[in-house]
Amino acid sequence: MVKIAVAGGTGNIAGEIIEALLSKNRHQVVVLTRKDAPIDPIVHPDITYVKVDYKDKASLTNALRGVHTVLSFIVVVLDPGSVAQKNLIDASIEAGVKRFAPSEWGSSNVTAVPWYTALFTSNLYRQINRSYSKVLEYCLFQCGIFSNNLATPHKTAKHLVPIMLPFDFQNRRAIVLEGRNDIDSVTFTKVQDVANIVAEAIDYEGEWPVVGGIRGNNLTVGQVLALGEKIRGKPFAVETLTLEDIESGNINTSWYPVLEHPSIPKEEIESFSKMALGGTLIGIAKAAYTIPTDEWNKLLPSYKFADIEEFLYEAWAGKP
């Protein structure tokens, strides 16, 4: 049994991983939170909640004493300049933490996604490996897009709140980049699989790979549309945009995935959602959501990933 600290651990992705850690490993989990009392916390004898100030490295260091692994789920768009994550790395090094997973869980190319611009990937590596001497073992767990989001609005995991994608299975429609259906691809991985792999990784006795690809299913955009039509039983209404449209802010589709979050003012939801749509399509075009390597698949060969077609048939069974 080791002690694992989860930064941003009250989020819905972290919740899935915490549940897997507690159910499989019986490790001790310390959730670092900015709040006095988390809303709807996970209750378990091996989990504790510690309020922290990410601007205070000394208090962070004290909170991480005796911790073996830190998993970061700090929300990137709410951490300008990555101040919180940088301080978390410094505190982890000072406290003697062995392993660290930065908050880069989805994309294999964060520079291609607009809302990841605050990330400091190259600087992060230099900070962790000061003077080219490794002081903290770390891994970028990269899994692409959660398959669960293709079941939106239906919830298919205990904690993960599904978000609408440009592939809208419920309404049998999609928004794609013009002429790229057979060129662009996406890695879809079920969030439960990601949680289970992380739980296995905690017990992995070898050194963590720096890049830790987790590949569930790779599909071209055209294959996603074909799968949607097969599962939903009718053709999809497909609208197209060009890269020029997105770059000029000309998002003139008849609909767009609406993203609502407590941090987004109501009057900004439309503009943010359209920005996110454009960013997602650009990210797909730049292979940001295609995981090129499968390190954890190879390191844990006995693990069986969910088949996306089987999962979606089950998720949509009996749904209008």
Nearest CA-CA partner of 73 in 36, 53, 103, 101: 103
Same domain membership, residue 164 and residue 78: no
Token pair recorded at residue 312:
């979606």
Token pair recorded at residue 1:
């049994």
Same domain membership, residue 118 and residue 151: no
- Domains in the chain: how many in total? 2
- Mean of pLDDT values over 124-138: 64
Residue 208 lies in a domain: no
Same domain membership, residue 311 and residue 167: yes
Decide if pLDDT at 126 tops 60: no
Q: Are 148 and 169 in contact (CB under 8 A)?
A: no
Token pair recorded at residue 239:
């609208």
Radius of gyration of the chain (CA): 20
Question: Do β-strands 99-101 and 137-138 pair in parallel, antiparallel, or remain unpaired?
Answer: parallel
pLDDT of residue 118: 46
Which domain CATH number covers 249? 3.90.25
Report the interhelical angle of 121-128 vs 83-95 (nearest 10°): 20
CA distance 236 to 31: 42
In which band, very low, low, confident or very high, does the pLDDT at 132 lie, cut at 50, 70 and 90?
A: very low
Give me the domain span that covers residue 117: 3-138
Nearest CA-CA partner of 77 in 114, 49, 50, 44: 114
Decide if pLDDT at 135 tops 60: yes
Q: Are 264 and 181 in contact (CB under 8 A)?
A: no
Same domain membership, residue 155 and residue 70: no
Residue 194 lies in a domain: no
Which domain CATH number covers 81? 3.40.50.720
Same domain membership, residue 312 and residue 176: yes
Residue at which a domain ends, from 138, 166, 181: 138
Decide if pLDDT at 184 tops 80: yes
Same domain membership, residue 231 and residue 106: no
Residue 234 lies in a domain: yes
Same domain membership, residue 59 and residue 111: yes
Nearest CA-CA partner of 4 in 86, 14, 300: 14
Residue 204 lies in a domain: no
Same domain membership, residue 154 and residue 267: yes
CA distance 62 to 180: 51
272-282 per-position pLDDT tens digit: 899 889 989 99
Residue 20 lies in a domain: yes
Percent of the chain residues topping a pLDDT of 70? 89
* DSSP conformation letters of 271-316: HHHHHHHHHHHHHHHTTTTS----HHHHHSTTPPPPPHHHHHHHHH
308, with CB counted inside 10 A (0-12, 13-18, 19+), is buried
Cis peptide before 320 (omega within 30 of 0): no
Same domain membership, residue 129 and residue 153: no
In which band, very low, low, confident or very high, does the pLDDT at 111 lie, cut at 50, 70 and 90?
A: low
Same domain membership, residue 32 and residue 118: yes
For 24, residues 6+ apart whose C-beta sits below 8 A from its C-beta are: 196, 199, 200
Residue 210 lies in a domain: no
Residue 201 lies in a domain: no
Same domain membership, residue 166 and residue 310: yes
Residue 297 lies in a domain: no
Q: Are 143 and 101 in contact (CB under 8 A)?
A: no
CA distance 34 to 54: 8
Residue with tokens 């009392």: 37
E strands of the chain, at which residues? Answer: 3-7, 28-33, 47-51, 69-72, 99-101, 137-138, 140-142, 145-146, 167-168, 173-177, 185-189, 211-213, 217-220, 237-241
Same domain membership, residue 159 and residue 182: yes
- Mean of pLDDT values over 50-64: 94
What burial letters (b/e) apply to 21-56, b meaning 16+ CB within 10 Å? bbeebebbbbbbbeeeeeeeebeeeebebeebebee
Mean residue pLDDT of the chain comes to: 89
CA distance 66 to 72: 17
65-104 per-position pLDDT tens digit: 999 999 999 876 667 677 888 899 989 999 999 999 988 7
pLDDT of residue 38: 79
Q: Are 87 and 79 in contact (CB under 8 A)?
A: no
